[in-house]
Structure 1
Amino acid sequence: MIELPPAKTVLALMVAFSLTACVRLNPQPLTEQTLSEQGGADRVAAQQDVEPITGPLTLEQVIARALKYNLDRRARMLEEALAFQQFDASRYDMLPKLLAQAGYTSRNNDKISQSRNSDDGTLSESRFISQERDHTVSSLSLSWNMLDLGVGYFGSRQQADRALIAGEKRRKAMHLLMQDVRTAFWRAVSAQKLEAEVRATTLVAEEALADAHQAETERLRNPLDSLRYQRQVLENLRLLEAIEQELSTAQTELAALINAPIGQPIALVEPDFDLDRQALAVPVATMEEVAMVANADIREQHYNARIARDETRKTLTRLFPSLNFSYGVNYDTDSYLVNRQWNETGVQLSFNLFNLLTGPAQLKLAEAGVALADQRRVSMQMAVMAQVHLARQQLINAQHQFQRADSIWQVDRRISEHMSNREATQVQSKLDRVANQTTAILSLLRRYQALAQAQTAEARLQATLGVEPKIGSVGEMSLDDLTQTLASSRNGWQLLAARARKDASL
């Protein structure tokens, strides 16, 4: 028989190994090569399964690409999927615990016992070995705690509500994404429309400025008139450069939203825009009613209130006595045992007496959580009610601003046409030409900006109401099918107006 080392020696060795492991644990910063390789792999993963852009994109195609390929939206969808997976896993907390155990025991000497006489206290000379030095023990036991069952049931209900909250957050993120995409699309359209005109007008302005410098140098004109001329040209150049800076980021912002390669030019199809007043035809009362049942923030607060109430029930369940049922099958290889295999059944009732002291405080805490959740729900409903009115008024203001910007652009366009005719007869100077073209470009830019604001205001109103296209699972739909679904869902305001008329007729 091999003699085992003393217990103190074994303990000392274990402590030494533990200290050595702690000393060798050092921070390991990421290397530049690792970061570079991971960055390349992430860029490849970001473009995985993304259909390439093969032609000009319409507004519906841009929104469809954003819904299907936007990276932030993918993260929201994964968060929702994770929440549902957590809900599925939480349901197993209600099952009994089935525990399988196996162990090996070894000692360096025999387990010997003696007996003591109860009358005179003398020890018996007989010594008994009651256990083998080496033996294995195995068991399979099933236990079910009724308290854990109740707590697990309410915990599973809470996790189900958290999964639904993740779905509402995904809806809200989708509304915000569609709103941002609309704004970025019209900014990119205006950049596509005005880029060539801005560059051409800038070249003319540079030529006019160079002519003014030459005229000043050669003293062909009054110095004061020449400086005033240069000042006006420079002011027009400043406006043109501001417009160019305003438009320079539009393509990048749109590419980031639809997960297109950064730097790749994106051709866009400008839709025929007619000011849509269908949203304003829906009565305010109908908008309020729709928002109360469909707004993502309100629905999230309803689920939070349910979670708070289930937390109260969990707290109350923990205050009950714990009843545990157990059944197990055991086996021991010890030859000194008469019955090496045996079955064991047990019922155990336990109660934490400190619950009598802490129970009322725990219940008050849970009830305070319910009151807070209810107050947040009421506050959110009132806030959404105000948001409905604000979003509707903002849409009215944005449409009015667009009409005004469109009228100004129409006038500036007609002025530009007249100036072009004068240019053909060489009546106007380069300064007049630059000034008129700059004014026309600025008016057209403001028209597009007002148009983008009108589109954003309408999308904001849709998000406040919780109105969204019925698109189903984006991952299972092809890009073409998703585009067609978005194109056919334009009549959402018409459906709401028809609903209002139907309710009014009842």
Structure 2
Amino acid sequence: MLAGLMAGCAQLTPEQALTPPTRSSWQQELDQMQIEPIQGTLSLEEAIARGLKYNLDRRAKQLEQEIASGQFESALQDMLPKARAQIDRSTRSEERQTRNANGTPSNITSERNHTVQEMGMSWSLLEFGVGYYNAKQARERVQIANERRRKLIHTLIQDVRSAYWRAACAQAMRQELKNTIAQAEQALEDSRKIESERVRAPTESLTYQKQLLESLRTLELIDQDLAPAQVELATLINAPAGQALILEAPWPELRGEMSTSIEALETMALERNADLREVQHQSRIARDETRKVLAKMFPNLSFNIAAKYDTDSYQVHKGWDDASLQLSFNLMNLFTGPSQMRLAEAGVALADQRRMVMQMAVMTQVHLGRLNWLNAQKQSQRAEQIWAVDHRLATLASAREKALMRGRLETVNAQASALLSQFRRYQSVAQVQVAESRLRAVIGMEFDDAGVDRLPLKDIVEKVRQTPQITALGTTGVGHAPR
């Protein structure tokens, strides 16, 4: 025993260091996921499909739901009677011997060493009642895990859309941005040479350089904002971070007014919003907790039945059947029961209050989501018009410079303004996509991800393309019901 304790303590020493993951082991784990390589250009639908199929956060939420389902099955099994098998080996230093009424020793009644074997079953009414409410609470936790998975899907699609259009903006502007920065740097260098040669007045040269530097700062800020876009997109779809993604990003058409009334959107949100459904399940758990506390205050009725066998040679009947019925009551419940009930009722009141708060928040989010979506559409249209004007001004400025009618400063400023307008144009499209995703999340109109781990990638892409548009809710419905 001493050697065993020492060996166990040796396993608990804090000297064992963690083994850090290596690049080869990390790559091996990614290879086990069997991620299909990206062939050719990447469309928005394929990016969303890859995020749904390969994103690690979504897989983690899926595993959490599976664990919750396993806990529910385990809670159901706790309601079954307890079956036991037991072997009791007894050893005495002296024989078991009793005395007669006159005080003289009687015969020996048992052996010093004997074994009692038992096979039995027991069932407790109190354990059954508590297990019943535990199973109901575990079932609600399965639904909570499902609602959290739904919220993650909304967030994932929203992030993929935003990162995709930022990456598309970087792809469209990369070369032109690089050329304009080079032109501005060259113009700045020329201006410094002119200043050193004192061809122009110092004030004029410095003003010229300041305007060039302001344009350069604007261009560099755009470049810094767009640089991590492809890495973020690759992370969301679980693609290699260093892989160059070629995006197929046709310019989306602006959609018309929404045909669904605000009252219908409110009804959809009350029925399907993931946050609201989660607090409703939490409220059910709190009510079941009250019933479970109440059940524990009742007397317990337990039933036991067993078949036993004793190897003691002094026994006349070595094998026998044993059955018992037991009624018990914990007297401490008279003192602790009222406080436990008050605590459980306070939990119910808190859950109901959270549900009311969430209902008000969801109603607010419906109105704000619809308003933000409409405003994003208008801002996208306005950004398109501003970009068209700035693009024409940049073209005219370049033509004037070639005709020696204007200097390079006007061309650089016009091109910087056009690039900034193009950047805001892409930003406005991303904002429309984000606003639409948020509105979908509020009304619970998520993508049906059933079986995405087993479906081929091309089938998931097709399902993404067939997702109903936000403007067609009045005619196409809201998709599948929450599972």
1:182-201 → structure 2 map (5 Å cutoff): 182-201=161-180
Paired AA for residue 110 in structure 1: E
RMSD: 2.1
1:167-178 → structure 2 map (5 Å cutoff): 167-178=146-157
Following superposition, the deviation at residue 17 of structure 1 comes to 7.1
Query: Residue 100 of structure 1: which of 85, 102, 127 is its match?
Result: 85
Query: Residue 15 of structure 2: which of 9, 22, 28 is its match?
Result: 28
Q: Gaps spanning 5+ residues in structure 1: where?
A: 1-12, 501-506
Match of 1:4 in 2: none
Inter-partner Cα distance in structure 2 for 1:46 and 1:21: 36
Instruction: Tell me the alpha carbon deviations over residues 183-216 of structure 1, each in whole angstroms, 9 at most, x when there is no partner.
Output: 1111110011111111111111111111112222
The answer to whether the aligner puts 1:461 opposite 2:448 as a matched pair is no
Following superposition, the deviation at residue 132 of structure 1 comes to 2.6
Q: Structure 1 residues 497 and 183 mapped into 2: Cα distance closer, same or farther (>3 Å)?
A: same
Do the aligned residues in 2 keep the contact of 1:141 with 1:327 (CA within 8 Å)? yes
Inter-partner Cα distance in structure 2 for 1:327 and 1:114: 29
Query: Residue 258 of structure 1: which of 225, 228, 237 is its match?
Result: 237
Query: Residue 406 of structure 2: which of 428, 436, 441 is its match?
Result: 428
Q: Which moved more, 1:325-334 or 1:484-493?
A: 484-493
The answer to whether the aligner puts 1:230 opposite 2:201 as a matched pair is no
Following superposition, the deviation at residue 490 of structure 1 comes to 3.3
Inter-partner Cα distance in structure 2 for 1:138 and 1:101: 6
Match of 1:416 in 2: 394
- State, as a whole percentage, how many aligned pairs show the same letter: 45
Match of 1:56 in 2: 41
Q: Structure 1 residues 498 and 316 mapped into 2: Cα distance closer, same or farther (>3 Å)?
A: same
Report the 3-state secondary structure (helix = DSSP H, G, I; strand = E; otherwise coil) of the residue aligned with 2:14: coil
TM-score norm. by structure 2 comes to 0.93
Query: Residue 218 of structure 2: which of 239, 243, 252 is its match?
Result: 239
Inter-partner Cα distance in structure 2 for 1:332 and 1:112: 15
Match of 2:330 in 1: 352
Inter-partner Cα distance in structure 2 for 1:240 and 1:340: 95
The answer to whether the aligner puts 1:115 opposite 2:99 as a matched pair is yes
Report the 3-state secondary structure (helix = DSSP H, G, I; strand = E; otherwise coil) of the residue aligned with 2:308: strand
Q: Gaps spanning 5+ residues in structure 2: where?
A: 479-483
Do the aligned residues in 1 keep the contact of 2:89 with 2:116 (CA within 8 Å)? yes
Q: Which moved more, 1:351-360 or 1:91-100?
A: 351-360
Q: Which structure: larger Rg?
A: 1
Report the 3-state secondary structure (helix = DSSP H, G, I; strand = E; otherwise coil) of the residue aligned with 2:307: strand
Inter-partner Cα distance in structure 1 for 2:474 and 2:445: 10
The answer to whether the aligner puts 1:283 opposite 2:236 as a matched pair is no
Match of 2:430 in 1: 452
The answer to whether the aligner puts 1:364 opposite 2:342 as a matched pair is yes
Following superposition, the deviation at residue 473 of structure 1 comes to 2.0
Paired AA for residue 338 in structure 1: V
Following superposition, the deviation at residue 156 of structure 1 comes to 0.6
Query: Residue 65 of structure 1: which of 37, 44, 50 is its match?
Result: 50
Do the aligned residues in 2 keep the contact of 1:328 with 1:344 (CA within 8 Å)? yes
Match of 2:454 in 1: 476
Following superposition, the deviation at residue 127 of structure 1 comes to 6.2
Do the aligned residues in 1 keep the contact of 2:300 with 2:328 (CA within 8 Å)? yes
Inter-partner Cα distance in structure 2 for 1:81 and 1:140: 35
Match of 2:321 in 1: 343
Do the aligned residues in 1 keep the contact of 2:219 with 2:416 (CA within 8 Å)? yes
Paired AA for residue 201 in structure 2: N
Inter-partner Cα distance in structure 2 for 1:45 and 1:201: 43
Inter-partner Cα distance in structure 2 for 1:375 and 1:197: 56
Paired AA for residue 97 in structure 2: S
Inter-partner Cα distance in structure 1 for 2:232 and 2:477: 37
Query: Residue 90 of structure 1: which of 51, 62, 75 is its match?
Result: 75
Inter-partner Cα distance in structure 2 for 1:254 and 1:23: 47
Report the 3-state secondary structure (helix = DSSP H, G, I; strand = E; otherwise coil) of the residue aligned with 1:329: strand
Query: Residue 420 of structure 2: which of 442, 450, 453 is its match?
Result: 442
Q: Structure 1 residues 499 and 475 mapped into 2: Cα distance closer, same or farther (>3 Å)?
A: closer
Inter-partner Cα distance in structure 2 for 1:75 and 1:362: 36
Paired AA for residue 61 in structure 1: E
Match of 2:112 in 1: 133
Do the aligned residues in 2 keep the contact of 1:110 with 1:131 (CA within 8 Å)? no
Query: Residue 495 of structure 1: which of 434, 449, 473 is its match?
Result: 473
Do the aligned residues in 2 keep the contact of 1:395 with 1:457 (CA within 8 Å)? yes
Query: Residue 144 of structure 2: which of 165, 184, 189 is its match?
Result: 165
Instruction: Tell me the alpha carbon deviations over residues 44-93 of structure 1, each in whole angstroms, 9 at most, x when there is no partner.
Output: 32452211111111111111111111111110111011111111111001
Paired AA for residue 174 in structure 2: E
Report the 3-state secondary structure (helix = DSSP H, G, I; strand = E; otherwise coil) of the residue aligned with 2:99: coil
TM-score norm. by structure 1 comes to 0.89
Q: Structure 1 residues 186 and 371 mapped into 2: Cα distance closer, same or farther (>3 Å)?
A: same
Following superposition, the deviation at residue 128 of structure 1 comes to 4.0
Q: Structure 1 residues 375 and 241 mapped into 2: Cα distance closer, same or farther (>3 Å)?
A: same
Match of 1:81 in 2: 66
Match of 1:248 in 2: 227
Paired AA for residue 64 in structure 2: E
Report the 3-state secondary structure (helix = DSSP H, G, I; strand = E; otherwise coil) of the residue aligned with 2:42: coil
Q: Structure 1 residues 134 and 112 mapped into 2: Cα distance closer, same or farther (>3 Å)?
A: closer
Query: Residue 195 of structure 2: which of 192, 216, 221 is its match?
Result: 216
Match of 2:481 in 1: none
The answer to whether the aligner puts 1:325 opposite 2:293 as a matched pair is no
Q: Structure 1 residues 66 and 24 mapped into 2: Cα distance closer, same or farther (>3 Å)?
A: closer
Instruction: Tell me the alpha carbon deviations over residues 137-191 of structure 1, each in whole angstroms, 9 at most, x when there is no partner.
Output: 2111100111111111111111111101110110011111111111111111001
Report the 3-state secondary structure (helix = DSSP H, G, I; strand = E; otherwise coil) of the residue aligned with 2:162: helix
Following superposition, the deviation at residue 40 of structure 1 comes to 4.1
Do the aligned residues in 1 keep the contact of 2:96 with 2:111 (CA within 8 Å)? no
Q: Structure 1 residues 25 and 471 mapped into 2: Cα distance closer, same or farther (>3 Å)?
A: closer
Paired AA for residue 30 in structure 1: A
Paired AA for residue 184 in structure 1: A
